[in-house]
Each structure stands twice: as structure tokens, then as C-alpha cells.
A and B are shown apart, each in its own frame.
Chain A
Amino acid sequence: MYASSIADSPWLSPNHLVIGHRLKMWYSVQAGLFSKTRYVRAVDDVSISIGKGETVAMIGESGSGKSSLGRTLLRLYKLNGGSLMFDGKDITKAKESELAWFRRRAQMIFQDPFSAINPFHNIKFILEEPLIIHGVGGGAAEREEMVIRTLNEIKMNPPEDYLYKYPHMLSGGQRQRVAIGRAIILRPDFIVADEPVSMLDASVRVEILTLLKEVQQKMNIAFLYITHDISTAKYFSDRIAILYAGKLAEVGPYRDVVKDPAHPYTQALIEAIPDPDPSNRFHDKKVVGGEPPSLINPPRGCRFHPRCPFAMDICRREEPPMVEVKNGIYAACWLHIKK
């Protein structure tokens, strides 16, 4: 039944843990008291699914809707359309009171380790709080054991040194470890990590990515890794999905997409990112100009057409559907649609 309803989006798998089908999440904005309410179409008909233990990188520029999509998959927002399945259960319209089981199995890691954890609580309580909320681990002694186990898992050794520390006594990298610890202490099946390393220095960034990967593999967690940085995604994703102006532009296995990107926007993103190479200074980059469109009034047709070097007539008139370009790679671009 459900399998047939998602058949219009063949890049989804009915066996996946998380399935978002034709998701819509619009923010309403009212410019003045009597003016008409308008909508920012942050997520506009996006379908994505993530398998058990799979890592999907969600790539997009600021304002592309990647964070909104991540939060939508966690049912932190009400949907304006589409359906959301988790482990075979439809949670699209479930009430918050019916979602306790889901809240326990799906967690989030935020970008800013300085504001994501409460500065007035010590590390022990920060890690223990999810256990208390979900009534996991019986007594205090058992909970402390779980906190210590988690501190070991996030490589804060010896754990006793950190239990009674406060966030301000930790470095940015250590705080992000604590945020990861808080997310994994309940043994979730699904984690949305929203730019978890973008505020960290290069070396700490690799340290945290390495830890995330280790945790992900050890606990077989499905990850949505949200980032603007396609190059860090290389070290932490099986598949990638490219989002542009609230729409999915391309989705496929990481290596195949980066090696031979199908969508002109993906091509532009890849071209824009330099590798460390001293000869870069001798030539200019071939990059597209312009800026992403407003999501209140997105352009007709393909949303990338005003910036696209290959824009054709049809791109200005009609929205391109997602089609399979190559094995497992889907892109929404008229260049790949044979009429």
C-alpha cells in the first residue's frame, strides 16, 4: 500500500527507516497587520528516504531549506503537505503525546556547541537529562553508569574528570562531543546533524567527523548530515542529496555524484570548492553568478534557471521532474529529459 504510493519517487525505498514523501513545509510571513499572509516555501515537495545505518548528506546553501527539511524529518514542524514514515509507522499527523517513542529513537545535533547545551548544568546532568525524560535506566546509579559509558564513547577520558564540569570549562570540540553524547545516550536509530562541524577549526572538525563516523558505524545509526560543505560530506556519507531553493536538485551515491554531477547546480557547487593547490592562484574559477531566489516568490519553471549557464526555453516555463540519469542518480533537470 505505502510502497505503491511512493512509486512516483523511485529514489525512495519502502524498506527505509525514514521516508519523507513529497514533504512541504512553509513558513507564513505577514508583512503588515492587514496584508495577506504569504508563505516562504522552505521545503517544497521534497522526497527523501534514509535506510537503517545509512548516512545521507543534505547539501545546500543558506536558505536552501536544508535545516527546515532536517527538522521536518524529526517532526519538529507541522507539515504543509506530504507524508512522513518512521520504521513503518505513519507519523505525519501524530500528536506530540503519541510521539514519545519516536522522540526517543530520533535525535538531533546542532551547529553551535556553545548554545546547544545549557551553561548552568554540569556535564553529568546534561547527559543524564534525556534518560530522565524518557524514564530510561531505572535508578540514579544505573543512569550514572550510562553517562560514564557515553563519556567513554565520546572519548572524554577519564569520564570522572568531566562529570562535574560545566560547559564553559570545555573547548568547542569538547562541547560538541557532549552534544553528540546527549544524542547517542538513548541509543537512537536516527540522528539529524545540522552543520555539526562548521563552527570548528580544521583539525577539531576532522576529530568530530571521525567520532561521528565511529559512533554511526558502531551503533548502526541512520544519519542525515546537513552541511553546506560538500567536501566534508565525502568523509561521512553514503549518498548525497543536493537541495536548491526548497527543491531537490540531485540525489545519488556520493562518489558517483561528485565524480560526474548531473545537475548544473551540483556542477557549480563542486566547481566553487577549491582543493589546496598552489596553482589555484594562477587561474580564475568558472563559477555561476547571481544569488539563490526568494522562496516567497520562486522563479517559474526550474528554480535554478536564472543562474544556469545551460538554461533553455522549457526551463523558464516548466518545472523539471526528477529522472534517473544513471544508475541510482536522480536529477531534476531538463538537460537529462529526452522528449
Chain B
Amino acid sequence: MGMALLEVDNIHLYYSTSKGIVKAVDGVSFELEEGETLALVGESGCGKSTIAKALIRLWERNVSSVTGEIRFEGRDVLHISDEEFRMQYRWKKIAWVPQASMNSLNPVLTIGEQMIEPLVIHHDVDKDKALMQAMDMLEAVGLPRDIVRRYPHQLSGGMKQRVAIAMALILMPKLVILDEPTSALDVITQANIMNLLKRLRREFKLTYIFITHDLALASELADSVAVMYAGKLVEWGSSDDIYVSPKHPYTVGLMGSVPTLRGEKKLTFMPGEVPSLINPPTGCRFYPRCPYFASRGELKGLCDRDEPPYIDVEHKGARRHLVSCWLYK
């Protein structure tokens, strides 16, 4: 493998709320090669969208602290000035398709007007030329060129999602963060968008971070998978390892709850609830729901006390397979 395009090194992001500090992301590290797609998966509230916000440096005002390092092409981009990040990285190198982005289009501007804004600001191109580029990009995402003159309400959900993708790509970024890019769409439209994302990845040599709660959908794009639980990364490895032999009891549980249409499989679920991120459990955050902790006496006093380290397990895929669980020590 070559040099990593993106290295996320032990980042923490805490929100301050009236009830206390919410440790939304609590020490997460992973990396990404150029051209690789990483699926960041987990249930709602696990911190996966918060990581996206940290990467694009757009977080809410009640964020009390962001620490750690995010290196893009070897350079730390978390601690450079806002101005420098805005001019050099956001949209230009790191783009973002936010959750429910099809509803984030401005209803009083035409598609063209909102698409060319970054071109005019970042590249200082004149309006007509920018409009041509916008039309080229719309064509690339499978929309007719004359969409530039339409308003968002004239488009269907799937078309708006394509526009949001075109907007993210217009400055030719290297890394695109896709946050649940198909969540409100119908299944057939969703499949079409997944095909589009595959094609764009080939055409523009893109690197994706694909954030989703849907493991089946993640397998449509992912070269590697990082599984999050309650603000922590619990497992990370190649898709070929994570889907075939998941190791962390949480990943195993999550896989067990994914319905399959073709094969025969009995669905299982994990009893209990996701813990509070204000007062997370000590040790492994999954131990209160873990079937191994419940059944094996020797784990008492370990999992509920000490945080498990990342352990290298045997892997077949291109990446190391890391799992944060005492079972493998």
C-alpha cells in the first residue's frame, strides 16, 4: 500500500449539553488509501456522522472540544486556520454530501445558481463558464443539462440527491464523505444512486467515506469497513474479512440482524440499549449487552473495568483486521 490519503489519529469530539458532556466521538483512529472506500457503520448515535463533521470541520456551536489529528496527504488539517481550511480543503479536496442533502438545496435559487457558487468563489471563473461546468457535472451524474434553470421543488427526490452529489464533485475533490446518501429514497432509486456512485468513483478516481447504518448497502461500495459503537471504533478491516468473519461481538450481533433476501438465515437481535454517552460504561462500552460477558465468568472484572486494546487478528483482505475486544487477547 502507498501513502495514506487520510489518517484520522485518535480524535475526540465532545458536545456540551445541559445534562453534561456528551462524548460523541471518543478516541477514533483509522486511515484511508487513495481510491479506497471506507464504510463507517453503526447504529444511530454511535458518532459516525460526528466524524464526518470533524473531517469537513463543520460542527455545531455546542461542541466543547475537538482533539486529535486529521492528516490529509500527510498534513494536519484539524489545527490549521479556518480560513486556510476553507480555501484549500473544504469542497476543493474534501467534499461532503450531508445527510438528507436533497432537502438542503436552497428553494429560491435555481440549481445552476447554487451549483456555481463554489466555482466563482474558489476558482474565480466567470459565470457563463461556471454554468458550463455545472452542466457538465449534471450530465456526469445522469441528469439533463437544462436542469440548471430549474428550482429544487421541480425535481424528484432522486434527482435532488443527484444534484447534491454533483455539487459535492464540482471542484473535483479527492475525498468525498457520503453521509447516508440514499436514506430517504425508494429502493430502486437507491440502487440507481449506488450504481452512480460506483461509476463516479471509477471516472473521477474518488476516495469515499460512506457513512451508513445499513450493512447490506455498505457492501455495495466498501473496500474496508469500520464499525462504531457508542463513540468508539470497535472493529476495522477489509470488507472481505468483516463480512465473512466478523470478530467483535457487536459486529457479529449487527450482522445477525441484517435480513437477507436470497439466503436462508435466522435473524437475531441484541437485547438492551445503546449506553448514554454522558456516562458511558467503564471498560468496554459493549459489555452490558455482550453475550460473552454474560456467560463467561473469567471476563468479569476485565471487560467491565479495562478498556480493550486493538488486537491484530488474522486477515485475508488487503487491510489489517483490528478488533477492540478482550476475547482475542
How far, in angstroms, from A270 to B263 measured CA to CA in the complex?
13
- Contact A201–B213 (Cβ < 8 Å): yes
- Contact A201–B44 (Cβ < 8 Å): yes
CB-CB under 8 A from A209, the residues of chain B are: 267
- Contact B261–A291 (Cβ < 8 Å): no
Interface window among B10-18, B76-84, B250-258, B291-299 = B250-258
Residue of chain A at shortest CB distance from B201: A281
How far, in angstroms, from A235 to B259 measured CA to CA in the complex?
8
A205 is contacted by which of B216, B242, B257 (Cβ under 8 Å)?
Answer: B257
- Contact B261–A234 (Cβ < 8 Å): yes
Q: Does B156 contact A (CB under 8 A)?
A: yes
Interface code B20-44, partner A: CB below 8 Å = 1, 0 otherwise? 0000000000000000010000011
- Contact B213–A202 (Cβ < 8 Å): yes
CB-CB under 8 A from A274, the residues of chain B are: 191, 194, 216-217, 219-220
CB distance from A306 to the nearest CB of B (A): 13
- Contact B258–A276 (Cβ < 8 Å): yes
CB distance from A333 to the nearest CB of B (A): 17
- Contact B188–A288 (Cβ < 8 Å): yes
- Contact B269–A210 (Cβ < 8 Å): yes
A272 is contacted by which of B43, B191, B215, B259 (Cβ under 8 Å)?
Answer: B191
Q: Does A207 contact B (CB under 8 A)?
A: yes
CB-CB under 8 A from A202, the residues of chain B are: 43, 213-215, 254, 257-258
Among A201, A203, A204, A228: residue with most chain B CB under 10 A: A203
Interface code A157-181, partner B: CB below 8 Å = 1, 0 otherwise? 0000000000000010100000000
- Contact B271–A207 (Cβ < 8 Å): yes
CB-CB under 8 A from A203, the residues of chain B are: 43, 253-254, 257, 269-270
Q: Does B1 contact A (CB under 8 A)?
A: no
Q: Does B244 contact A (CB under 8 A)?
A: yes
Q: Does B239 contact A (CB under 8 A)?
A: yes
How far, in angstroms, from A62 to B220 measured CA to CA in the complex?
23
Report if A287-B192 is in contact (Cβ < 8 Å); known contacts: A275-B216, A276-B243.
yes
Report if A61-B187 is in contact (Cβ < 8 Å); known contacts: A205-B257, A291-B158.
yes
How far, in angstroms, from A277 to B242 measured CA to CA in the complex?
10
Residue of chain B at shortest CB distance from A283: B198
- Chain A's interface size range is 35 or more
CB-CB under 8 A from A231, the residues of chain B are: 216, 259-261
Interface code A278-307, partner B: CB below 8 Å = 1, 0 otherwise? 101100110111011000000000000000
Q: How many residues of B contact A (CB 8 A)?
A: 50
Q: Work out how many contacts link A and B, with CB atoms closer than 8 A.
A: 122
CB distance from A65 to the nearest CB of B (A): 14
- Contact B194–A285 (Cβ < 8 Å): yes
Q: Does B103 contact A (CB under 8 A)?
A: no
How far, in angstroms, from A210 to B256 measured CA to CA in the complex?
13
Among B37, B217, B220, B243: residue with most chain A CB under 10 A: B220
Q: Does A29 contact B (CB under 8 A)?
A: no
Q: Does B186 contact A (CB under 8 A)?
A: yes
Residue of chain B at shortest CB distance from A64: B186
Q: Does A271 contact B (CB under 8 A)?
A: yes
How far, in angstroms, from A217 to B193 measured CA to CA in the complex?
39
Residue of chain A at shortest CB distance from B260: A275
Q: Does A230 contact B (CB under 8 A)?
A: yes
B217-234 contacts to A (CB < 8 Å): 217-223
CB distance from A23 to the nearest CB of B (A): 23
CB distance from B51 to the nearest CB of A (A): 18
- Contact A287–B243 (Cβ < 8 Å): no
- Contact B261–A281 (Cβ < 8 Å): no
Residue of chain A at shortest CB distance from B242: A278
How far, in angstroms, from A195 to B244 measured CA to CA in the complex?
30
How far, in angstroms, from A230 to B261 measured CA to CA in the complex?
8
- Contact A284–B195 (Cβ < 8 Å): yes
Residue of chain B at shortest CB distance from A202: B257
CB-CB under 8 A from B213, the residues of chain A are: 201-202
A sample of 22 inter-chain contacts (CB < 8 A) reads: A62-B186, A201-B43, A202-B43, A202-B215, A202-B258, A203-B254, A203-B257, A210-B269, A229-B259, A230-B261, A231-B216, A269-B187, A271-B191, A272-B187, A273-B216, A274-B217, A275-B216, A275-B260, A276-B216, A281-B222, A285-B220, A291-B189
**Measuring CB to CB, which residues of chain A are less than 8 angstroms from any residue of chain B?**
61-62, 171, 173, 201-207, 209-210, 228-232, 234-235, 258, 268-278, 280-281, 284-285, 287-289, 291-292
